[in-house]
Structure formats: structure tokens, C-alpha cells
Amino acid sequence: MSDLRRPGVAALALLIGLCAAPACRASARAEFPADSSAPRLALLVAFPAPSLSEPEEDAQEARLEIGPDGRDLRLTGDLTEGVADRAATLLAAHPLIERLHLTSDGGLVQEALALGALVAAHGLATYVPETCASACTLVFVRGRGRFIAAGGRLGFHGPYEVGFFEALRQVDAAPERTAYLNAGLAPDFVAQALAVRAQAMWTPDATRLRAAGVVTEVVAPDRFAGRDR
């Protein structure tokens, strides 16, 4: 999944006429190259709207789990509708949580912004053991401390809507731009990230991520051993 907006009003009206299920929507997922030690672009593969055709077998709804010591919340999967509410419930029930582990190819921008607000409100650190792409990065940058494992990847591109016949339409990036800048990311980095086409993905290397203020620290993969499994 990716940095995806819900369909526009006109498109949504047509979709309501075509299918009654509220989950009728479209999405895309990011595929990274095996070696991303330098910034790369990777194609996105668009999937059809679930209610209009075959289900998205590759889509993975976010799974939320509490770590064994009660201090880590692990999120794995796509940022689908309701994930922020689910996280809020867990954070209220487990006040000792201090880190959010993120492994996600992205999802709905609205959910990412809401989840990011929760991260900031609870003063959580964020940690990426492997991959956090697209809308997931909107959550990551709200961390009090932002950690990424050596070899981990952050992926960026401009936001989009899925239109008729699965066409991807680039949309205004003002919400994403504001979120990144408010999180302290360098303006030139933000401009470059949001200029990437919806069908592509930019994965900056660790040096660029640290220089731009995206990542606080690159850590050894065993820094949080046992907490992201």
C-alpha cells in the first residue's frame, strides 16, 4: 500500500452506486529493490478495488502487538481504516508503552496522520527494523526519537488518489508537506520526497536521512532485540 487518499467526492459517488460495501476502495503497494544502499526508484503495482473484483490477497491489514515487557507497541502491515483507533485503545490500556515499531508499506494518509498525532501526544519513540514506506513515514517522523536499524529503509513519494480504471492521480501534498516540516525535516528533503511520482518510490540512504533530520540514530539490528518479533 502507499500514500493513498480516499477517492474524491465525484468518484466516491459513482463507487457508492456501483457497490454498497463501505470498504470499496483501491490501493497500491510498494516493492523495494533487493539492494537499496543508495536512493532508488521502484515501481508500484496497482491493485483493483476489492468490492469490484477479486480481493487484494497481498494486502496485509495492520497487526498491533504489545511487546513482552509492555514498553513496545509493534505495528506490522498496512495502515487501513481504524488502525489509529485500535492503537489509541492499546495505548490507553498499556501506559508503559514508550516505543512504536513500524513495519509497513503505507496506507491511508488520514490514518497515518491520526496515528502520528497519537505518537506525539504520548511522547513515543519510533523504530523501523526493516521497512517503513509512504504514509508510514508520516507516523515515523512524529517520534520523540526516530530510530532505524542498519539496513532498514524509509520510502517516500508524492500522495495520490485512485481514480477510474485504477488510474493514479497525483494530489496536493499540503498535508504531507506540513507534517514533515513541522517534524523538523529539511525543506529541500521534503520537496524532493514529495516530487517523486506516485508510481515510484525514493529510498534515501542513512547518511541523507540523518542529515535531513528524518532519523535520529541508525542502530544495530539487535538494539531492540526481542522487541520487534
150-167: average pLDDT = 83
pLDDT score of 2: 55
Higher local confidence (pLDDT), 229 or 91 = 91
CA–CA dist 76, 15 (Å, integer): 29
Beta strands in 77-182 (DSSP E): 99-103, 107-108, 125-128, 131-133, 146-149, 153-155, 160-162, 168-170
Higher local confidence (pLDDT), 9 or 87 = 87
Which residue is it, cell 510498494?
A: 30
* Model confidence at 166: pLDDT above 70: no
- For the chain, the domains span 3-219
For the chain, the distance separating the N- and C-terminal CA atoms, rounded to the nearest angstrom, is 22
Higher local confidence (pLDDT), 33 or 102 = 102
* Model confidence at 217: pLDDT above 80: yes
How far, CA to CA in Å, does 191 sit from each of 3, 135, 177? 16, 16, 8
Quote the pTM value: 0.75
pLDDT score of 165: 66
CATH number 1.10.287.3610 is the correct assignment for the domain at 3-219: no
148-153: average pLDDT = 96
Residue 111 C-alpha cell reads as 490514518
pLDDT digits (tens, 9 = 90+) for 103-143: 999 999 999 999 999 999 999 999 999 999 999 999 999 99
201-216: average pLDDT = 97
CA–CA dist 145, 139 (Å, integer): 12
CA–CA dist 36, 173 (Å, integer): 25
pLDDT score of 48: 30
How far, CA to CA in Å, does 106 sit from each of 69, 205, 211? 27, 19, 23
Beta bridge partners of 160: 4, 170
pLDDT score of 135: 95
